[in-house]
Structure formats: structure tokens, C-alpha cells
Structure 1
């Protein structure tokens, strides 16, 4: 079966950093389609995905019907990338690893990202109230949930590492990486505070930061910002 042409729709600084890292780590040729501002999502994705959210992975060809496949949602995109590069073991090397990676990806995309980080940075999307006091209340509750989710994440990471599941890098490591950086970028917690509160998580992040694929990804996204 032929290899599909791969396109990743991404927004610098968004959660599309996760599949961007995976594609570069696996040395999968792809075309990055950079969306430079959230206000451009609906326009740039109008003919691609009705969700108007990044990331979006587009696979052209490479299947029995030589058709286009559009994949949304980070856990599903990670599965698609794993299918393109099974030798990279993004979902681990054992059945248990596979199940744990699936569990982690869903935890990060749901309870952490959608249910906690989302209302923290966009409180107006989670209430019909418009007063500053109401929005502040939504954000404060979301920050409390974030600390709870961060503590759960820290406790669940492998005690000795060096990676989230133990000895080998998996998709989990790439997914926890941006969420360690975001609190500092948003002024919620400094890098030192994050490392002090979450040493296992910090250890994983330092390992991810040392990877060539990650340095390339961060450099590309920084250069793409407008």
C-alpha cells in the first residue's frame, strides 16, 4: 500500500504541538499548514473540518480507495501517526503499554485540556454570564481543577523514568510536554514552581526538550508566529 501524503494543520502555541512533535520524531514527511491566528481557524479549515479546531491531520491516498482521510482530535491523530510509523512504538511495546498510552492520551485531551485548561484560558466559553466577576469565578474554579489534574498526572508518571511509562519514549511524553510549558507562558506558575511541585513531570519534560525533533518543532513554530 502506498504511503499517503500527509498535511498537518497547526496553530503555533496550541495543542497541535503534540502531533507536530510526533511527525518529526518519526521522520514522516509532511506539509505543515500554519494557521497564524485563532481568528483564521474557520476560514483556513472551512473545507477541511467543520470543527474549525487544530490539529487536523489530512492523509491523501495511501488506502485501498486512494481517497482523502481527515483526522481530528489528538488521541486519534496520534493513532494515525503510529500506524504510519509502527517502528517508532509511539504506543509502547506491550499490550499494557498500549492500554496505558490510550488512557493517558484521553486523560490529557479530556479532563486536563477540555475540562480544566479550556475554561482557564477561555472562561467566556463556559458560562452565559458576562460580568467580570462571573468570568473570574469560572477561571478560579478551572485553576483549582488544573492543580488537581496536574497532581494526578504527577502521581501517575513512572517513579524512576526517564519517560512517562518508564524506559521508552511514547506519545504520552510528547503530549504532557506542552501542558508543562503553558502555565508559565500564561503567567499561572513559573518554571521553577512547576519543577518543584511536579518533579516526575519535570524530569520527563527535560528529556523531551533534549530531543532533536522537539528542538526542530519549537524552532519552526517560533519562526511561524506573526
Structure 2
């Protein structure tokens, strides 16, 4: 007798189509907005991206549930509600490139005052160009030097900046930074940098890390 297929719930049809060719896997499309009629059979559930749902919201009736797969790198908000015997997986590594690209794009837009140009364009207001700062020669501080933090540093490096990295603990550097500073050094480092990119997980240790005092530096 053939083994029962692994029933996997996915939030969108595209995901189900991508898994069609996997032997021994049966996908059901479930956006988790309401209980699924086959909920008791689901062993692996993929959460919708950027969801406000908690595991307590969706785990009711999922008697066979073994694994919950998140589509985000962050997972802290889900930890309090992980059911006993269920493994919670995040999407570590999936968003490194896109998040780092966004950090660079927003930094360039801010330094070059692109939002002001957008407003002027919308109102057909054309003011004489003035000299604006450049990212080149800036001192960039990356706070949080995990996978995404390194991806951020890698994208800033070609812009002729001076990179400094901060992590939970001091350690040797890599090909991008000669040394990684500990988080306890942050107050001393902040006044000496032009750009600060914060890419840390929200934990008890990082909550309130950038308070009014830190921002004033």
C-alpha cells in the first residue's frame, strides 16, 4: 500500500503549481482567512507573506500539523504561539538580496532628496538645481551583521564608502569590514557616521535600541 501523501497548504495558486511535480506531495490552497475543510490532514502549512495572523489563529483543527513555514526572515512574533510538537521554519536567505537592494535604494533617494523632486514634478515646480550630498565618501554603519547585514554591506561597498559593522558581539571581520564591533560600542560609533542601516531582529536585546538619545547622535 502506498504511503499517504504529504498534505501541504500554500496561500496562493502559483505556489501549488510550483509543487505539482513533487512526488508524494499533495497541495491545497489556503489563505488561512477561514478554517480549511481538509485542515485535519495538513502536515505542513505555509503562512501568507506579511501576515498579521498568529499561529494560534491558524492552528485550530490542524491535528496533523508538523511544520509551519514562514515566508519572512523574521519570526519573533510567532514564537509565543508555536504548538507543541510543531517546527517553525523561517525564510532565512530568501530576502537577503531584495532587502539589501531596498536599503541602498532608499539611502540614495534620501541623500539625493529624490522625494522633493517627486513632489516638485507632481506640482510642475521647477527650482534651480543645488549641490547635494553624495553617497560616495560617506561613512556607513550597518547595525546587524548577519546574512542580510552582509548583503547590505556588499551593495554599499562599490559606492566608495567606509563601512563599519556592528553585531551582538565583537568578532573578526571579513572581506568587507576589517572588524565587527559589538553592540555595546554603538553609542560611541553613531556620531562618527553619515548613514546608519539598522537590520537587527526585534528581540528583548534590540527593543528600544534606537531611542531619542541614539537618534540625537
Looking at secondary structure, tell me which structure has more helix per residue.
1
- Shorter-normalised TM-score: what interval? under 0.3
Higher relative contact order, chain-length normalized (CA < 8 Å, sep 6+): 1
Structure 1 length as normaliser, TM-score?
0.27
Name the TM-score, length of structure 2 as normaliser: 0.27
Give 1 or 2: higher strand fraction. 2
Q: In terms of Rg, which structure is larger?
A: 2
